[in-house]
Amino acid sequence: MNTFRLQLRFLLPLLLTLAVAAYLAVPVVDRLTLRWFSRDLVSRGELLTNALSDSISDAVEDPEGARLKALFDRAVRNERLVAIGLCTRDDKLLLRTDNYPPTLGCKAAREVAEGGAPVIQIPGGPVQVGAHEVVGGAGPVAELVLLHDFSFIEKRSQDTRRYLFLMIAGLGAVIALITVVVAQLSWRGWVSGARALLRGEGLIWPMASSGELAPLAIDLRARLRDLEDAYRRSLGPEAPWNAERLRSLLRTQLRGDEVIVVSNREPYIHDFAPDGRIVVRRPASGLVTAIEPVMRACSGTWVAHGSGAADASAVDEQDRLRVPPGEDEYALRRIWLSAEEEQGYYYGFANEGLWPLCHVAHVRPVFRESDWHAYRQINQRFADAVVSEARSDDPIVLVQDYHFALVPAMIRAKLPAATILTFWHIPWPNPESFGICPWRREILEGMLGSTILGFHTRFHCKNFLETVDRYLEARIEHEHSTISFQADETFVESYPISIAWPLAQVEARWRPVEQCRADVFARLGLDPDQRLAVGVDRFDYTKGILERLHALERLLEKHPEWIGKLSFVQVAAPTRSSLEEYRSFQERIERICERIEQRFGQAGYRPVILLVQHHDHEALNELYRAADVCLVTSLHDGMNLVSKEFVAARNDEQGVLILSRFAGAARELTEALVVNPYHVEECADALQQALVMAPGEQRERMASLRMTVREFNVYRWAGRMLSDAGRLRQRQRIEARVLRQSAD
Ligand code: ADQ
């Protein structure tokens, strides 16, 4: 339909131009042919006069002679000569054929013949008048007036006009036909080229066949992206992100769109208490902390590993249940794994392979073929579960973390129209470090099934782009941060994760800082005048717990005045304890704690208290509020949420945060005391600086940190990712519409 309209736009002016050309050309051609014919008649007349000149010379002397009359009569019978008149030199009509009009005198005939329009009407039709001198032996003797039939010339001229008109019309038709054919072929080439391009297919075929369109199609895509970039930049200072704004984004930009989350860790675990009752617990996980508010806002489906002992007894026959328990805000679909599968996929490939590979924290990654097989198989199981949970063919799927590197491409294979947002919660290493993975290609290809691939920092994005550049044949557009691989295009962007900033009514329920401090000190048996430093982590070798203890030890050596006056409490949630690396790490930490205890402990004073247990959110909040210093010394961390939780807990604007420069959080929380955790001396000095920091400086730093965390909260993290998804979906719809229309 569109092609036809386009062609019409070209053809109409063409036909109009041809019509005007015909209109202007016909009279010109007409005049020309008339002139040629009339010249022709004149020369014929002269020829005839010459041929008759002798007979005429004789006849002038004998005007009554019948011979000349007979000659004239014979001449007018052919040659399209209508009549002949013979005039004497003194303009007397000496002789005339029957058709010669008696009213046409010699003088008048000569005047007509010599005038600009030598054609006159006589009863038999139009004639051209020619007057020719007859020259005898002694000079001019008479004048011959010839009346040539002009009607046949008019007829010829009409014929010429008709042929000319037909020729121009024919020419127009041929040009129009060629135009339509060429336009059709070009359009088809363009459409298939543009379509392939917009689908992200290889440029080689369509571009090779219609090279002239390549820049156009590339330009089209680039313009769309520029518009998006401009839009993102033009958003300017944002309104604050909160649960309500996120909900309204889901209501407006993603209205009616289905959201499915897939993660290894489930947000609620059902366990059996010692008395046999079923209890629900929330795991110690940054990921769960971050995604839960999104799911509450959009009430979608969360697909996760059912890891609790009582999980199976809490689900319906489709392995689903509504959560949070008692509040019923979204669905949780549990996936079951055998102990062997969990060993290979989770402990093996994900945690002994990918975790150390990405953290580059001096623990050697272990890659076993059997673990890889389990990883692939379980990734497929989760991908299948997502597909079976999907109620539409284009859901928004949020794939969480390094446990599911292959899931994006697996979902893409079955739901090509899905918008897949993969967020990688841990760091991404440089290409050399990643290159030691035997299945590096498969992992990268799996991740590139994503529509959007998110990391915490630009630095991790850059590492990923360089890794793809090194190991895959993909097209990377650094300006727009996109990777085109096979038929898919992936937008790689940084979305720094955060926490849900506490609501005023929640804060109002918090007990005052002094009371928290008194309760915690009493529970831990600390002297009320003591200072308290805390560390809160999963018991993981990447968190820098060892380095932190070394710093404490060094501080007590350098500043013995703190002995008896400073206690460090490390809360460590048991994690991945079935792995040898983690068990030996815990033992090592315990040994160092004992050593510090032996070196500096006194009756009624414990320099370090190690609490290897899971704490609920309220208990952690109380601890944060009771502390003077919070130590976050990760050797490498995607973001680190503990640092942000500590800041959020301190609405009294007191307390000092010591933060590793290798945690993603250090890019945002610049008012913390930022340290290199490997540098024991620097960390000990930072601890000293924190302990002696004046309340005024603490307030200044904390107030600024609080502003950052309040603004850059988890709703912003999710909101930015989801609005990017919304924009991409919008773009896909526009592209689909353009292609549909062009195909009509
Ligand atoms: P984690 O490695 O788990 O997260 P982190 O960001 O610090 O690291 O989150 C830990 C979470 O567990 C926090 O919410 C904390 O309160 C909680 N937690 C820690 N110890 C606990 C305990 N003893 N009891 C109860 N809860 C405890 C991964 C990446 C991080 C990234 C997050 C989010 O490794 O870099 O910040 O995902 O993307």
User: pLDDT by residue (tens digit) across 533-561?
Assistant: 999 999 999 999 999 999 999 999 999 99
Q: Distance between CA 619 and CA 561 in Å, rounded? A: 30
Q: Which atom of ligand 1 is nearest to the CA of 615?
A: 24
- What spacing in Å lies between the alpha carbon of 570 and ligand 1's midpoint? 14
Q: pLDDT tens digits, residue range 18-38?
A: 888 878 887 787 788 777 877
Mean of pLDDT values over 203-208: 43
Q: Which two tokens stand for residue 263?
A: 């993660």
Q: Among candidates 325, 316, 293, 291, which has minimal Cα distance to 399?
A: 291
Statement: residue 373 has pLDDT above 80: yes
Buried b or exposed e, range 87-110, using 16+ CB within 10 angstroms: beeeeebbbbbebbbeebbbeebb
Pocket probe for ligand 1: among 422, 536, 614, 659, the residue whose CB has the most ligand atoms within 8 Å is 536
Strand partners, 279: 271
Q: Distance between CA 131 and CA 150 in Å, rounded? A: 16
Whose Cα sits closest to atom 26 in ligand 1? 284
Q: Distance between CA 706 and CA 710 in Å, rounded? A: 6
| 515-to-510, 520, 523, 702 alpha-carbon distances in Å | 10, 9, 12, 20
Percent with pLDDT over 70 in the chain: 89
Mean of pLDDT values over 396-401: 96
* Cα dihedral sign, 594-600-605-611: negative
- What spacing in Å lies between the alpha carbon of 731 and ligand 1's midpoint? 36
Task: Return the higher-pLDDT residue of 237 and 650.
Answer: 650
Q: Which atom of ligand 1 is nearest to the CA of 427?
A: 35
Statement: residue 58 has pLDDT above 90: no
Name the maximum alpha-carbon separation found in the chain.
172
- Rounded to 5 degrees, φ, ψ at 572 are -130, 115
Per-residue pLDDT band for 187 (boundaries 50, 70, 90) equals low
Q: Is residue 429 classed as helix, strand or coil in its secondary structure?
A: coil
Q: Distance between CA 652 and CA 731 in Å, rounded? A: 46
For the ranges 74-83, 186-195, 438-447, 728-737, the one whose mean pLDDT is highest: 438-447
Task: Return the higher-pLDDT residue of 737 and 488.
Answer: 488
Mean per-residue pLDDT over the chain, rounded: 89
Per-residue pLDDT band for 217 (boundaries 50, 70, 90) equals low
Q: Is residue 55 classed as helix, strand or coil in its secondary structure?
A: helix
Q: Which atom of ligand 1 is nearest to the CA of 497?
A: 38
- What spacing in Å lies between the alpha carbon of 290 and ligand 1's midpoint? 10
- What spacing in Å lies between the alpha carbon of 530 and ligand 1's midpoint? 28
Q: Which atom of ligand 1 is nearest to the CA of 290?
A: 33
Q: Distance between CA 587 and CA 465 in Å, rounded? A: 39
Pocket probe for ligand 1: among 263, 617, 640, the residue whose CB has the most ligand atoms within 8 Å is 640
Percent with pLDDT over 90 in the chain: 59
- What spacing in Å lies between the alpha carbon of 308 and ligand 1's midpoint? 19
Q: Distance between CA 592 and CA 552 in Å, rounded? A: 11
Q: Distance between CA 170 and CA 345 in Å, rounded? A: 75
Q: pLDDT tens digits, residue range 287-345?
A: 677 788 778 877 899 999 999 999 999 999 999 999 999 999 999 999 999 999 999 99
- Rounded to 5 degrees, φ, ψ at 420 are -105, 115
- What spacing in Å lies between the alpha carbon of 104 and ligand 1's midpoint? 123
Statement: residue 4 has pLDDT above 80: no
- What spacing in Å lies between the alpha carbon of 404 and ligand 1's midpoint? 19
Pocket probe for ligand 1: among 265, 642, 643, 646, the residue whose CB has the most ligand atoms within 8 Å is 642
Per-residue pLDDT band for 206 (boundaries 50, 70, 90) equals very low
- What spacing in Å lies between the alpha carbon of 536 and ligand 1's midpoint? 8
Which of 63-77, 84-98, 381-395, 516-530 bottoms out in mean pLDDT, i.e. has the lowest? Answer: 63-77
Query: What is the structure's pLDDT at 204?
Result: 43
| Residues in contact with ligand 1 (CB, 6 Å cut-off) | 284-287, 289-290, 425-426, 497, 536-538, 571, 573, 614-615, 620, 637-642, 645
* Exposure on the CB side of residue 44, measured as CA atoms within 13 A: 17
Whose Cα sits closest to atom 9 in ligand 1? 286
Q: pLDDT tens digits, residue range 98-118?
A: 888 888 888 888 888 888 778
Per-residue pLDDT band for 205 (boundaries 50, 70, 90) equals very low
Query: What is the structure's pLDDT at 537?
Result: 96
Per-residue pLDDT band for 201 (boundaries 50, 70, 90) equals low
- What spacing in Å lies between the alpha carbon of 378 and ligand 1's midpoint? 24
Q: Among candidates 653, 652, 660, which has minimal Cα distance to 642?
A: 660
The DSSP bridge pattern shows strands 125-136 and 139-149 to be antiparallel
Query: What is the structure's pLDDT at 110?
Result: 86
- What spacing in Å lies between the alpha carbon of 279 and ligand 1's midpoint? 22
Statement: residue 248 has pLDDT above 70: yes
Mean of pLDDT values over 4-19: 76
Query: What is the structure's pLDDT at 228?
Result: 64
Whose Cα sits closest to atom 20 in ligand 1? 537
Q: Which two tokens stand for residue 724?
A: 């990017």
Mean of pLDDT values over 411-433: 97
Whose Cα sits closest to atom 2 in ligand 1? 286
- What spacing in Å lies between the alpha carbon of 286 and ligand 1's midpoint? 4
Pocket probe for ligand 1: among 398, 538, 709, 721, the residue whose CB has the most ligand atoms within 8 Å is 538
Per-residue pLDDT band for 233 (boundaries 50, 70, 90) equals low
Whose Cα sits closest to atom 37 in ligand 1? 286
Q: Which two tokens stand for residue 384?
A: 């299948």
| 583-to-63, 430, 541, 572, 632 alpha-carbon distances in Å | 149, 28, 10, 13, 21
Q: Distance between CA 744 and CA 732 in Å, rounded? A: 18
Q: Among candidates 329, 293, 249, which has minimal Cα distance to 725?
A: 249
Buried b or exposed e, range 450-476, using 16+ CB within 10 angstroms: bbbbbbbbeebbbbbbbbbeebbebeb
Which residues, 6 or more positions from 473, have their beta carbon under 8 angstroms from its beta carbon? Answer: 485
Whose Cα sits closest to atom 32 in ligand 1? 286
Query: What is the structure's pLDDT at 740?
Result: 77
Mean of pLDDT values over 176-180: 79
Q: Distance between CA 540 and CA 537 in Å, rounded? A: 7
Are 498 and 641 contacting, i.e. CB atoms less than 8 angstroms apart?
A: yes
Q: Distance between CA 169 and CA 161 in Å, rounded? A: 12
Element (H, E) at 367: none
Whose Cα sits closest to atom 19 in ligand 1? 537
Exposure of 555 by Cβ count < 10 A (0-12 exposed, 13-18 middle, 19+ buried)?
Answer: buried
Which residues, 6 or more positions from 727, have their beta carbon under 8 angstroms from its beta carbon? Answer: 228, 231, 253
Query: What pTM was estimated for this model as a whole?
Result: 0.72
- What spacing in Å lies between the alpha carbon of 645 and ligand 1's midpoint? 10
- What spacing in Å lies between the alpha carbon of 146 and ligand 1's midpoint? 119
- What spacing in Å lies between the alpha carbon of 288 and ligand 1's midpoint? 9
| 552-to-415, 493, 603, 610, 739 alpha-carbon distances in Å | 53, 38, 19, 13, 65
Q: pLDDT tens digits, residue range 132-165?
A: 888 877 788 888 898 888 887 777 777 877 887 7
* Cα dihedral sign, 200-206-211-212: negative
Query: What is the structure's pLDDT at 140?
Result: 83
The DSSP bridge pattern shows strands 531-538 and 566-573 to be parallel
